[in-house]
């Protein structure tokens, strides 16, 4: 969940690392730091601070005046797990003598035992982190060979890590290693950039090598060598990353979240490009790597995911059951991994993850594979661990999503799920005619998404009216139920308003006790099955003085009598309605959060990618 950048080469390491840390700030942002080797003194200069990269830059101005070009260094932006987010706990951590400096993502589970042993051997600690033990262990294991020292230290560690290490005794190399926490290596000319996330690398090169668990990398400016945990040299293929740098800039928008909301029509167009087959009434997703025969044998689908991806999965359940007649179960990934789940021979497991790095989803994938299941994935980040380990998967092609809130990822996830349901449906009982209708609607989806975005000013006006409330409920039925859950998640994570999503029918089973004039209710009452019953629920809420906002199909004026405010959605079929509603909810949440002065792209306590349990 933290971000790592390492650099060795002919350029100014400080500049490269700080700019890389800015790119990674969305992964963790409570403290930051860097270590650079100073060729004038032969020492490691280390600067750390609580707060964001901007604060680190101010410290650097005072503590490392310009004049010396430092050719090698490592940096870190932190999301605290062990120890408060303050200056001493920020990374990098130095060994006792200051000869070695490390940055670490992940959790060292046996750190207490290691710490006691190191203390008994005369080492002293300055931080409360688990990571500091690693710096001391490397020093303890050092016999003149840095790679060997890191390998020996890592052998003593239980837990997860992505690390970079430098030493003033070897000022030409960075050692990096991975176990459960991603590390990518940018292949450049006369320099090597290492990072926990490709967004810190793409401005230097489009050729990236991803470390696998157990790999140990030794990198100099012009060479990289990867050893397996058994000390055997390994050749890893470079992946070509086709991001352009504009995709990771704000492009004139105030926030990445707003930019990414507005990118949805083009992101959906990219997700469907070349994949819809109108004549055959189906889709093709080559990444699934399944023959029609294999697909036709699937008699159960089990989807695992977390957070917003879990809500996309819930919509996937409706799609697979309605269009492919395949019983589908959705499990929160952590629940799946610890439950000894039942996987029958014809069960297809599907993992959904924007980042492709979520720890629980990855562990669920590994558990499913261990049990012999066919595992498919839907990921956005190319080369991510889940995409690589499943081997069979579909990329969203939504482009990088930098805002912590998932926006274009969920609409593309649902788009891909619709295409998958279509493929499964056409190999089961779905007619060509029905298939063509779905393909036709899918090809119009970018336009539909744009029509929702065209409501921005009207949605902003609703946001103005409701931004000061401290609680909110979202309700919906059928396809609108997961959309209600997602609406509540989006609002709470970026505006800090306490928001809950409920099935509309559940309101009377308890939550209605909380309704009063201070708790606005957002009712998803589109012109699709279930609408009339949801309208009755809106009435029940209004009878308790609850302010009601209806998200409703445009042109259906009778909704006015059930609500105080309306957000209009274009007419669309039931299976596409969640995408339209979710886009409206994103705009509503964004403008409410903006009015409340929240840190929209980096909400408190959150990180883009949850790589620890
Ligand atoms: O990368 P993933 O899709 O696996 O991430 C799952 C969740 O952490 C993520 O969707 C999270 O809930 C977002 N902050 C929601 O906006």
What are the structural domains, with CATH classification, of the chain?
3-241 (3.60.20.10), 249-450 (3.40.50.10490), 456-595 (3.40.50.10490)
Question: Taking a C-beta distance cutoff of 8 angstroms, is the pair 175, 216 a contact?
Answer: yes
Helix or strand holding residue 65 (H, E): none
C-alpha 42/C-alpha 72 separation (Å) is 12
State the virtual CA torsion across 329, 334, 340, 346 in degrees, nearest 10. Answer: 30
**Which atom of ligand 1 is nearest to 361's Cα?**
4
613: pLDDT strictly greater than 80:
no
Percent of the chain having pLDDT more than 90? 85
Average pLDDT, stretch 364-368?
Answer: 96
pLDDT at 28 over 80: no
For 30-50, what is each residue's pLDDT tens digit? 899 999 999 999 999 999 999
Pocket of ligand 1 from Cβ distances under 6 Å: 306-309, 353-355, 358, 361, 404-406, 489, 493, 606, 609-610
Per-residue pLDDT tens over the stretch 93-103: 999 999 999 99
* Strands in 280-435 per DSSP E: 282-283, 300-305, 328-332, 347-353, 374-379, 393-395
- Residue 584 has a pLDDT of 98
**d(CA 357, ligand 1 centre) in Å:** 10
> Parallel, antiparallel, or unpaired: how do β-strands 174-179 and 300-305 relate?
unpaired
- Count CB neighbours of 606 within 10 A: 18
* Mean pLDDT score of the chain: 94
SS3 at position 124: coil
The pLDDT-based confidence of 82 (bands split at 50, 70, 90) is: confident
Token couple for 332: 């929160």
DSSP H or E run through 278:
none
pLDDT band per the 50, 70, 90 thresholds, residue 217: very high
**In this model, does residue 79 exceed pLDDT 90?**
no
Q: Which of 166, 163, 157 minimizes the C-alpha distance to 105? A: 163
Neighbours of 10 (CB within 10 A): 12
Structure tokens at 299: 């008699």
CA dist., res. 230 & res. 317, Å (int):
43
Measure the CA–CA gap between 123 and 137, rounded to whole angstroms.
10
What's the Rg (C-alpha) of the chain?
A: 25
Structure tokens at 80: 């605290």
The answer, yes or no, to whether residue 65 has pLDDT greater than 80, is no
Angstrom distance (rounded) from CA 482 to CA 578: 8
Element (DSSP H or E) covering residue 600: none
pLDDT-based confidence at 334, cuts 50/70/90?
very high
| Backbone torsions φ then ψ of 559, nearest 5 degrees | -65, -25
Model pLDDT, residue 586: 98
Which residue's CA lies nearest to atom 7 of ligand 1? 307
Give the other-Cβ count within 10 Å of 502's Cβ: 21
What number does the ligand 1 atom closest to the CA of 306 have? 6
For the annotated catalytic residues, the residue numbers are: 2, 608
Those residues with Cβ within 8 angstroms of residue 59's Cβ, 6 or more apart along the chain or in another chain: 47, 48, 49
CA–CA distance, 223 with 240 (Å, rounded to integer): 19
Residue of 260, 306, 402 to test ligand 1 pocket, by largest number of atoms within 8 Å of CB: 306
- φ, ψ for residue 295 (rounded to 5)? -65, -40
DSSP strand E in 287-388: where? 300-305, 328-332, 347-353, 374-379
Closest-CA residue, ligand 1 atom 12, reads 307
* Predicted confidence band of residue 230 (pLDDT cuts 50, 70, 90): confident
φ/ψ (deg, to 5) at 14: -60, -45
- pLDDT (tens digit, 9 = 90+) per residue, 381-409? 988 999 999 999 999 999 999 999 999 99
Reference 386, options 83, 396, 34; nearest CA is: 396
Which residue in this structure is represented by tokens 């308890």?
Answer: 510
- C-alpha closest to that of 30 among 59, 52, 5, 47: 52
Got the DSSP string for 499-513? Answer: EEEEEGGGGGGTGGG
Two structure tokens written together for 254: 């105030």
Residue 126, CA atoms < 13 Å, CB-side half-sphere: 15
The helix/strand/coil state of 535 is helix
pLDDT over 70 percentage in the chain = 100
Distance 610 CA to ligand 1 centre (A): 8
Question: Tokens representing 178?
Answer: 């991975």
Q: Is the dihedral of CA 574, 493, 75, 124 positive or negative?
A: negative
Helix (H) or strand (E) holding 592: helix 577-595
Given the DSSP bridges, would you call strands 471-476 and 498-503 parallel, antiparallel or unpaired?
parallel
């Amino acid at each position: 969940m933290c971000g790592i950048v390492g650099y060795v080469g002919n350029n100014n390491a400080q500049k490269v690392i700080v700019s890389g840390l800015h790119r990674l700030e969305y992964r963790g942002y409570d403290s930051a730091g860097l270590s650079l080797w100073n060729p004038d003194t032969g020492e490691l200069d280390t600067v750390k601070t609580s707060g964001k990269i901007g604060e680190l830059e101010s410290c650097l101005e005072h503590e490392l005046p310009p004049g010396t070009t430092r050719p090698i260094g490592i940096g870190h932006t932190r999301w605290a797990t062990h120890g408060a987010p303050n200056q001493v706990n920020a990374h990098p951590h130095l060994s006792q003598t200051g000869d070695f400096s490390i940055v670490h993502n992940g959790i060292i589970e046996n750190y207490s035992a290691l710490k006691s042993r190191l203390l008994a051997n005369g080492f002293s600690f300055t931080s409360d982190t688990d990571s500091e033990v690693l710096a001391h262990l490397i020093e303890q294991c050092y016999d003149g060979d840095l790679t060997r020292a890191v390998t020996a230290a890592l052998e003593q560690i239980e837990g997860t890590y992505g690390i970079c290490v430098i030493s003033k005794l070897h000022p030409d190399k960075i050692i990096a290693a991975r176990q459960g926490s991603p590390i990518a290596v940018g292949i450049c000319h006369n320099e090597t950039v290492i990072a926990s996330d490709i967004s810190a690398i793409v401005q230097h090169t489009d050729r990236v090598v991803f470390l696998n668990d157990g790999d140990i990398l030794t990198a100099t400016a012009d060479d990289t060598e990867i050893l397996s945990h058994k000390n055997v040299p390994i050749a890893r293929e470079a992946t070509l990353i086709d991001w352009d740098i504009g995709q990771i800039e704000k492009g004139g928008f105030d926030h990445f979240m707003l930019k990414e909301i507005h990118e949805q029509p083009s992101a959906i167009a990219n997700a469907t490009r070349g994949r819809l087959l109108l004549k055959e009434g189906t889709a093709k997703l080559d990444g699934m790597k399944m023959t029609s025969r294999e697909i036709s044998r699937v008699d159960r689908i089990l989807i695992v995911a977390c957070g917003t991806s879990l809500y996309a999965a819930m919509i996937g359940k409706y799609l697979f059951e309605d269009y492919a007649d395949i019983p589908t179960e959705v499990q929160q990934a952590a629940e799946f991994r610890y439950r000894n789940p039942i996987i029958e021979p014809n069960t297809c497991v599907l993992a959904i993850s924007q980042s492709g790095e979520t720890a629980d989803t990855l562990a669920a994938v590994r558990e499913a594979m261990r049990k012999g299941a066919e595992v498919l994935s839907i990921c956005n980040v190319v080369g991510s661990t889940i995409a690589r380990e499943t081997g069979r998967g579909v990329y969203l092609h939504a482009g990088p999503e930098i805002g912590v809130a998932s926006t274009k990822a969920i609409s593309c996830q649902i788009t891909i799920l619709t295409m998958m349901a279509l493929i499964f449906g056409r190999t089961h009982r779905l007619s060509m005619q029905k298939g063509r209708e779905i393909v036709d609607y899918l090809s119009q989806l970018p336009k539909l998404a744009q029509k929702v975005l065209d409501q921005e000013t009207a949605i902003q006006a609703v946001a103005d009216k409701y931004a000061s409330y401290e609680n909110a409920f979202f309700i919906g039925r059928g396809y609108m139920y997961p959309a209600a859950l997602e609406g509540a998640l989006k609002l709470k994570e970026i505006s800090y308003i306490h928001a809950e999503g409920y099935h509309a029918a559940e309101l009377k089973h308890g939550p209605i006790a909380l309704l009063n004039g201070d708790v606005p209710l957002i009712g998803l009452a589109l012109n699709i099955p279930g609408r009339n019953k949801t309208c009755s629920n809106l009435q029940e809420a209004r009878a308790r003085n609850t302010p009601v906002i209806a998200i409703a199909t445009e042109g259906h004026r009778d909704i006015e009598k059930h609500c105080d405010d309306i957000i209009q959605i274009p007419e669309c079929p039931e299976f596409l309605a969640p995408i339209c509603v979710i886009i409206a909810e994103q705009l509503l949440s964004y403008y409410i959060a903006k009015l409340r002065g929240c840190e929209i792209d980096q909400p408190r306590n959150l990180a883009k990618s949850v790589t620890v349990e």
